[in-house]
Structure 1
């Protein structure tokens, strides 16, 4: 029922308009969200603390941290931080948690360990998709692997299961960062922002062989200071039951000779780093004041959780500096909004500042939607976190320079730096750059590193290899292959004045350390990250070679030798006995897996032959057939000879041939197992018909029914308080009402899904799309959230956007066949038959550790794609001809859902009264139900080649949920086809939610 219809509001006759309290609430909401941001003082953004998040009452909740042990080693220009966190589970059940670990800009994860039976076990580097597949498999077994992976922005996510009831789990993360320079010293800032009390906190900082005494510049503990210990300086402290909310900043005064650092790693390779010893970073080339400036302001939902006051202060002070300028403001979320022009006179920008303070933050982020203005301004200012999660990620090139500003702790620094540098602009991280410096640098040609010239000696791998602006943590790194070498570093203004500085690097001065090797690899990764898709293989190679987490690699902790062997992942070098045993046994394991892959096509052909055999049968039954079920006993009436009975649950190949005949001579009945033993070629029957003939025969069936079948899908109308309030809001107040409620339900995907559907039904598709796009903002790279949004996009005809989200899911979950299938079905709707067939073929021929017989469902869909392609004049040559056979049917119903380790069941009540389901998967009239997928996602399928007149009722049963963490109520999709595979095919879809296990829901019916 359309939620905009008057009938929806009849229950609320006394509320034809919003109540005074509701209107007041909206007004107060708007006022508070605007004035709060406006009145907050401008403070430097801080990193949030690491947090182990669990799902509780449909909301993400952090677990208590019982102990924190932090050790920092500073040598030369680099700091290594080792943070060990112990989390307490106060509940009486196992929990699964995601540890979010925000990192400072320039940080590199270099180590990870997880407690296994009381011992900390180091992680090993594994390709990201393989690591995630291993984690999912082992979690389903109830085993506790650990996984740390890169996600967009300067964020790393560690997945931990189980966290035992009333027990603890301990995680160690090690990362490396370059020191940051100011006018007098090098500094290391240790983020400590634990607002909740920590049971025990230990901190040790060691500065190795500094040339001057280090100082503690911040920190409330007066006892925390450095003592000399040999050539080093050490500071220690222990706190109990306290909140640790002040970052610790260590300053090391600079002295002559600190500009070069040389290390020799464990493989005896010599690495070096240099920084400019001359203080020229603040030099810029002055340019004329701009007349027109375009300000692109990220107004997506995630930015509503960020304090924007510092960015607003930059814009305000910039207007004062320029004095007279036309600023064209463009808000963007999932799409660009219209331009609003502000004329700034004598530096007065009150209207612009007021507009920025009153922005409503809502929707996903599509940075790829940004386009240059029709008439190019003098420059662009982009204020965003750079985390694009909805649609295209990379925008078109801009002719005018782009100056990007990032203030969020989750900023994608590499991406914003890439966008700005390719246009001749610059990127400013507000966490490390003063507002005054940003204001003075916008529009100015930045002081930059230009190139490095090798004067003498053998040196390679110098990074950065491309020109880039020099910031406070600029570090040039390379490898030395000769006893001594001299390099000349050029710096200055691109296309303008430049200078150079010479450095002599000596291998004899190297210290034994791996820190420089890690920073050198990170410099290489930073450069590759400017085009991550093009450099995907290189990123994986660098990560694996140097043991680092990258967009293509993760760190994985496994429990025993069998796991390492199963996944062909060598144990860490810190477990030498286990590693040696692995090497001795892995060859035999690889041979067994090779033999299994060879058998796959034989298995698929056997399954497909069984499906083709079912399709060829002609099911005969009287028009008045009635089937009743009583306590597992099925009684059939209307058959010749009166009532017949069969008991129990008919298995897949049971012989129910009371009135079943085959229309192909010599074809076996369902119970004849010999069919599966036939040779593959014979089993598929003297060469299957050409797909073009199949399509033509299917199309001839268009008129087989005198009356067209009717699909009646019951609209989903969730009984939720927020929809009741929306239904009673005046039309011009609906969006404000939604925003008012948004703060209460901001972490609920169900809220955004329902509200999006509301606006869609009210004829506001743009608003519906914006509201829906919030779902992907709830958590960075969460495939379950992406899947819900993508399915809904496909249902509303937003196929391009749906395909982009499904592409992202495929990158995140390549180990799941549903990832390929979902994308394939959208590409089919976009008439990309080749892409769709390639993906479905991968489902058919891939090796999957679960979802047995999904290959048959994919083959049904693959052959339909081939038939559609043939009708369109497109030939797909890459499919094995033995698998080509269009199986068109009168009815096809598909059930899918968004949750892993959750069992949903499809139930169809046929006109005869017989129920088709996983327990009764072959019916008297020829109904077929596919294999029961008890471990999540689906699809489950009902097929009927030739329909019986009457109604087919469609139910969905929420049977069980065994996953330790589930994203709220299960969201499911039901697709109902009639005349499937024929030119007159019709389809209707529905998205619904089931809240609790054992729920059964009637979702619709088909009438013939």
Structure 2
């Protein structure tokens, strides 16, 4: 078969909040992608700011690149505008459901068309994907976000971070416009000495244009507050109502909560924990223990497990023993909030974490107050706030508070917003009534006209306070996006329970164009693509879009197919194959195997314990088993493995792994190889910790999660396998392989009925034309697995499965390979005792061997079947024909499931998991031997 595939490099560049994005392109050291131009404009009105950043990136390399930019935004801030250059002009994105945006993006990417999306991933992190960035060419993106400025006693603070910028930007423009401020703003940090405000009408304007600019400092502006107790902005809705934003002063006497005698500190020491600002955390603890001088502390570490609690006593404010313990911590493993448990006899908790749980879901509702403390911009602020709010604790954001302010926030009883006395004329009020608020508080809502004077009510402890809010002084600003600020605040509130509020979040996000957990923004290249995928385009294309839709909608609409009708045909085909007789007449020589494969075969006895971490043999019935599976360990060829070859104990291996990790921090093979090595030494706990670290290398990366899933399955860790496959399915519900992986995990967890339901939904679900073509032939694998459930589990309800899909197909040999990357072509080869290869170019053999369709673009799977095995040895090999070089998630990971006596009552399964080697030679001897059958 003629195989066509595209090789494109993945470009990864990241930015902290408001920081100029810098590019880190591995293997492009000589010609790195250049930030060619940065243009940033911020408009400020009162304590509300809207920032628009336009970035142009130039690719000096000779390869097409795919761009990925991850932007952590502060608490409460979302992306509300995105644009990508199409034919030299910026085109605004439109909102679509998150999974739909990803599906359309990947479909268009396969056709080498220019889509762009921006989506919200774990925490308050936003990711944009751009394709292609042409060789020797450039792409431009525009990002818009709204934020509420932080308050001090006398002014609002605006900060734009250029910290640690060392790269010179060829073209740089920075402009800040401040409306309706009577007093001149004060620049307290200046990125360039010439940046200064001038009065222009009713605005203060500052602007710089620079060539080859390297910022010297951050930009920090103090904007004096108006004298009144409240400032109110109005924006008219489509009817007679108004969106409003009211900044209300709440200068109430602080009321401190009572001091605890015993606390628990939960310290997240997962791999991502090393990225937190530990100095700020230690400064906070130092201030805390100066204020709480005699206290008992239960200290517990959280990573992929909750470790054993340690007890410390702080006397006279001396906490040196605990401080030294924290200073000596190692940060490794994923984060599993599902492992959290109550600690007995404590009065409250201090939780130090980024709040991103990537190895399990939070299920615990704490009975004692949890004070959650964030110190990194990439934190999941919503989860940390939810933990605090549910338990009666405080959320402390060290990204925005100095040590004394943070201690004050911890010590005080929160200010609770109780709403307005006059409620009839106000709706959709945020913050919600009964929630804790910062001081001063920004209140958003929808109001009737002519509200007059209202009264906002707050409480601190058991005491209530009233603040007048005079809507007669409100300023109507119809050119200011108050509606988006309101929508952003409502979405932030709803995302505290994102699963329960999924539909409402999606509706709001799509209506107001705010990126959320459920909704992304997408830009398409051609108006016909908007029609094809049923996406309403931006205003500039709307007239043409409507004309096409009315003229020939049926011709252009996206084609979608289900797997059902083809599955009926394939079931009949499989039955015909199974009933046929095969009578081989000629003995043949084995094909020549490469030196590499021979060496692996010779080491077979050495790696026989691979069986120990394959899934347990599943045997039943009284028939005698004559077959035998032997798997070959595919050894890593990475240079770093030399450091481990003479280490005998798992403790020494782990110590060396940790010593060397900084050299290979983003190299996926490092964690994969060391996890396998530790498991081989029998240390399941350390092996799992290293493996789970892969989940920390990127946000919502299905390729990394599939690698984790394969090894969990191989090792029989079925509970975590189920969780991982469920997460992948959440991210990729449009992908048939995501459903299949989840169904197989359900089977491993002895949930055959649920698995059968998933298989049925897979057959009836409609897929895009691109995915249907990519996955053509997967039906044959699904039919075998559906019927295996029916034969292995007599108690399942099969009434919902169409009789045309049912067939009893017991076979002697079944091999299935899967891999973790899209746009990848891996081939399965099985050589029988007669020396005949069954492969993509020769799918049927004399003895009845049968190979499924050749998957050249997707995740696989490919399947080999043999009804009746003849005596002798069968060799199982894979060939890496081609793979997209996705740098972050490393080389392609392959899982081979190898079965004896599939569906006949003696079923036995073993699993091999390995990664592609550095060189994928397209030669006859380049295939990797992974196992043998012997009959």
- TM-score, normalised to structure 2's length? 0.90
SS in 2 for 1:828: helix
- Equivalent positions of 1:456-535 (< 5 A) are 458-472=425-439, 474-484=441-451, 486-494=453-461, 496-505=462-471, 509-535=475-501
Partners of 1:51 and 1:100 within 8 A in 2: no
Instruction: Decide whether aligned partners of structure 1 residues 80 and 985 sit closer, same or farther in structure 2, where only a CA change above 3 A counts.
Output: same
Q: 1:215 aligns with which of 176, 181, 186?
A: 186
Match of 2:828 in 1: 906
User: Distance between the aligned counterparts of 1:230 and 1:165, measured in 2?
Assistant: 46
Match of 1:84 in 2: 54
Partners of 1:53 and 1:60 within 8 A in 2: no
Match of 1:110 in 2: 80
User: Distance between the aligned counterparts of 2:229 and 2:207, measured in 1?
Assistant: 26
CA deviations on 1:561-589 (whole Å, 9 max, x unpaired) are 22111211111114344343354357535
Match of 1:671 in 2: none
Deviation at 1:823, TM superposition (A): 1.0
Number of residue-to-residue matches in the alignment: 883
CA deviations on 1:361-402 (whole Å, 9 max, x unpaired) are 1111112211111x131110000000110122x141111111
Partners of 1:376 and 1:400 within 8 A in 2: no
Partners of 2:588 and 2:835 within 8 A in 1: yes
Q: 1:431 aligns with which of 399, 405, 418?
A: 399
SS in 2 for 1:173: strand
Partners of 2:312 and 2:321 within 8 A in 1: yes
SS in 2 for 1:708: coil
Match of 1:745 in 2: 664
Deviation at 1:151, TM superposition (A): 0.9
Deviation at 1:434, TM superposition (A): 1.9
Deviation at 1:980, TM superposition (A): 0.6
Match of 1:581 in 2: 547
Q: 2:368 aligns with which of 397, 400, 404?
A: 400
Match of 1:655 in 2: none
- Equivalent positions of 1:335-354 (< 5 A) are 335-354=305-324
User: Distance between the aligned counterparts of 1:405 and 1:287, measured in 2?
Assistant: 18
Q: 1:845 aligns with which of 764, 770, 783?
A: 764
Partners of 1:263 and 1:513 within 8 A in 2: no
Match of 1:184 in 2: 154
User: Distance between the aligned counterparts of 1:166 and 1:216, measured in 2?
Assistant: 39
SS in 1 for 2:809: coil
Q: 2:842 aligns with which of 893, 910, 920?
A: 920
Match of 1:605 in 2: 568
User: Distance between the aligned counterparts of 1:266 and 1:251, measured in 2?
Assistant: 32
SS in 2 for 1:126: strand
- Equivalent positions of 1:849-928 (< 5 A) are 849=771, 850-870=774-794, 873-928=795-850
Match of 1:950 in 2: 872
Deviation at 1:319, TM superposition (A): 0.9
Partners of 1:324 and 1:345 within 8 A in 2: yes
User: Distance between the aligned counterparts of 1:762 and 1:699, measured in 2?
Assistant: 27
Instruction: Decide whether aligned partners of structure 1 residues 702 and 924 sit closer, same or farther in structure 2, where only a CA change above 3 A counts.
Output: farther
Deviation at 1:485, TM superposition (A): 5.4
Q: 1:390 aligns with which of 359, 365, 372?
A: 359
Partners of 1:447 and 1:470 within 8 A in 2: yes
User: Distance between the aligned counterparts of 1:150 and 1:60, measured in 2?
Assistant: 32
Match of 1:276 in 2: 248
Match of 1:681 in 2: none
SS in 2 for 1:615: helix
Match of 1:308 in 2: 278
Match of 2:333 in 1: 363
SS in 1 for 2:368: coil
Instruction: Decide whether aligned partners of structure 1 residues 426 and 585 sit closer, same or farther in structure 2, where only a CA change above 3 A counts.
Output: farther
Match of 2:205 in 1: 234
Partners of 1:447 and 1:491 within 8 A in 2: yes
Match of 2:901 in 1: 979
Match of 1:615 in 2: 578
User: Distance between the aligned counterparts of 2:528 and 2:711, measured in 1?
Assistant: 41
Deviation at 1:196, TM superposition (A): 1.9
Deviation at 1:619, TM superposition (A): 2.1
SS in 1 for 2:272: helix
Matched, 1:1000 2:927: yes
Match of 1:378 in 2: 347
SS in 2 for 1:419: helix
Partners of 2:233 and 2:246 within 8 A in 1: no
CA deviations on 1:456-510 (whole Å, 9 max, x unpaired) are 652211112242332257421100134325543221224x112122324359842
- Equivalent positions of 1:10-21 (< 5 A) are none
Instruction: Decide whether aligned partners of structure 1 residues 52 and 1002 sit closer, same or farther in structure 2, where only a CA change above 3 A counts.
Output: farther
Deviation at 1:58, TM superposition (A): 11
Deviation at 1:778, TM superposition (A): 0.5
Match of 1:633 in 2: none
User: Distance between the aligned counterparts of 2:110 and 2:551, measured in 1?
Assistant: 25
Q: 1:264 aligns with which of 208, 227, 235?
A: 235
Match of 2:137 in 1: 167
Partners of 1:331 and 1:338 within 8 A in 2: yes
RMSD of aligned Cα (Å): 2.6
Q: 2:261 aligns with which of 282, 286, 291?
A: 291
User: Distance between the aligned counterparts of 2:21 and 2:200, measured in 1?
Assistant: 34
Matched, 1:446 2:414: yes
Matched, 1:154 2:76: no
- TM-score, normalised to structure 1's length? 0.84
Deviation at 1:1006, TM superposition (A): 0.6
CA deviations on 1:976-1002 (whole Å, 9 max, x unpaired) are 001111321001111111133334211
Partners of 1:53 and 1:97 within 8 A in 2: no
SS in 2 for 1:607: helix
Deviation at 1:305, TM superposition (A): 2.7
- Which range is displaced more, 601-610 or 341-350? 601-610
SS in 2 for 1:205: strand
- Equivalent positions of 1:414-429 (< 5 A) are 414-429=382-397
User: Distance between the aligned counterparts of 2:74 and 2:80, measured in 1?
Assistant: 14
Deviation at 1:513, TM superposition (A): 3.0
Deviation at 1:928, TM superposition (A): 0.6
- Equivalent positions of 1:90-129 (< 5 A) are 90-129=60-99
Instruction: Decide whether aligned partners of structure 1 residues 313 and 966 sit closer, same or farther in structure 2, where only a CA change above 3 A counts.
Output: closer
Instruction: Decide whether aligned partners of structure 1 residues 326 and 507 sit closer, same or farther in structure 2, where only a CA change above 3 A counts.
Output: closer
SS in 2 for 1:519: helix
CA deviations on 1:732-773 (whole Å, 9 max, x unpaired) are 433221100111111011110110111111111000000000
Instruction: Decide whether aligned partners of structure 1 residues 58 and 612 sit closer, same or farther in structure 2, where only a CA change above 3 A counts.
Output: farther
- Equivalent positions of 1:534-549 (< 5 A) are 534-549=500-515
Larger radius of gyration: 1
SS in 1 for 2:346: coil
Which blocks of at least 5 consecutive residues in structure 1 are unaligned? Answer: 1-44, 631-697
User: Distance between the aligned counterparts of 1:712 and 1:836, measured in 2?
Assistant: 29
Matched, 1:832 2:751: yes
- Which range is displaced more, 383-392 or 50-59? 50-59
Deviation at 1:242, TM superposition (A): 2.7
User: Distance between the aligned counterparts of 2:805 and 2:148, measured in 1?
Assistant: 57
SS in 1 for 2:75: coil
User: Distance between the aligned counterparts of 1:702 and 1:317, measured in 2?
Assistant: 70
Instruction: Decide whether aligned partners of structure 1 residues 701 and 334 sit closer, same or farther in structure 2, where only a CA change above 3 A counts.
Output: closer
User: Distance between the aligned counterparts of 1:367 and 1:50, measured in 2?
Assistant: 33
- Equivalent positions of 1:684-695 (< 5 A) are none
Match of 2:3 in 1: none
Matched, 1:714 2:680: no
- Equivalent positions of 1:768-787 (< 5 A) are 768-787=687-706
- Which range is displaced more, 881-890 or 757-766? 881-890
Instruction: Decide whether aligned partners of structure 1 residues 490 and 172 sit closer, same or farther in structure 2, where only a CA change above 3 A counts.
Output: same
